[in-house]
Copies of this chain bind each other. A is one copy, B any other.
Amino acid sequence: MSHAQAPSSGPAPRLLKINEVAAETGLTTRTIRYYEEVGLLEPAARSEGDYRLYDASDLDRLQFIRSLRDDAGFSLAQIGQMLEDEAARARNRERLLGTTDPRERRIYLAEGLERVERQIGLLEAKAARLGSMIDEARARRERIEAGIAELDAAGAAPLATTSSPSPTPEPAS
């Protein structure tokens, strides 16, 4: 009778203990508890003996936090902001489903749109500046490749002209 699914309840949520969550997400248990401490996520439930129990949406949320932290390089405070936006989004969704009044629906949608656009703006600003850094690096690469190609061309006919000062500019770095 480990967790014999009650016949009345739904799809048997399958809750995970913190160690399993850590294995799944690549975070440490300490980190997960810390994220709870600073308000980034509450476990879906607690066991009888107060064990933290996480569901699938908690997993998603942790992965989202991780990608915001590692991929986008946001601080936990900024991530908290974005997650609050997510929460507001969810509340709005509830309200959206709860009404059919077009005026209300329009208001909720407009709020959601504003938040999403704020997020997109933050991410795009980061991406744009990163992109220009990449462009610069690529330009440097191409100058180097041009230099190598030039050597190849010279090497293809190395004995032809021993002293041909061809007007090839120095590939700067």
| CB pair B90 A173 closer than 8 Å | yes
A120 within 8 A of B: yes
Question: What is the bound-complex CA distance between A158 and B103, given in angstroms?
Answer: 12
A72 within 8 A of B: yes
Interface residues of A in 116-173 (CB under 8 A from B): 116-117, 119-120, 123-124, 126-127, 129-131, 133-134, 137-138, 140-141, 144-145, 147-148, 151, 154-155, 158, 170-173
| CB pair A130 B72 closer than 8 Å | yes
| CB pair B133 A123 closer than 8 Å | yes
| CB pair B113 A141 closer than 8 Å | yes
| CB pair B67 A144 closer than 8 Å | no
| CB pair A113 B173 closer than 8 Å | no
Which listed segment binds B: A5-13, A15-23, A92-100? A92-100
Question: What is the bound-complex CA distance between A99 and B95, given in angstroms?
Answer: 73
Q: How many residues of A contact B (CB 8 A)?
A: 49
Across chains A and B, which 10 residue pairs bring their CB atoms closest together, nearest first? A73-B73, A71-B129, A93-B173, A116-B141, A113-B144, A123-B134, A120-B137, A89-B173, A127-B130, A109-B147
Q: Residues of A at under 8 Å CB distance from B?
A: 67-68, 70-74, 89-90, 92-93, 96-97, 102, 105-106, 109-110, 112-113, 116-117, 119-120, 123-124, 126-127, 129-131, 133-134, 137-138, 140-141, 144-145, 147-148, 151, 154-155, 158, 170-173
Give me 29 A-to-B residue pairs in the complex whose CB atoms sit less than 8 angstroms apart, sorted by A's number: A67-B133, A68-B133, A70-B129, A71-B126, A71-B130, A72-B129, A89-B140, A93-B172, A96-B171, A97-B170, A102-B154, A102-B158, A106-B151, A109-B144, A109-B148, A109-B151, A112-B173, A116-B140, A116-B141, A117-B141, A119-B137, A120-B134, A120-B137, A120-B138, A120-B141, A123-B133, A127-B130, A127-B134, A130-B130
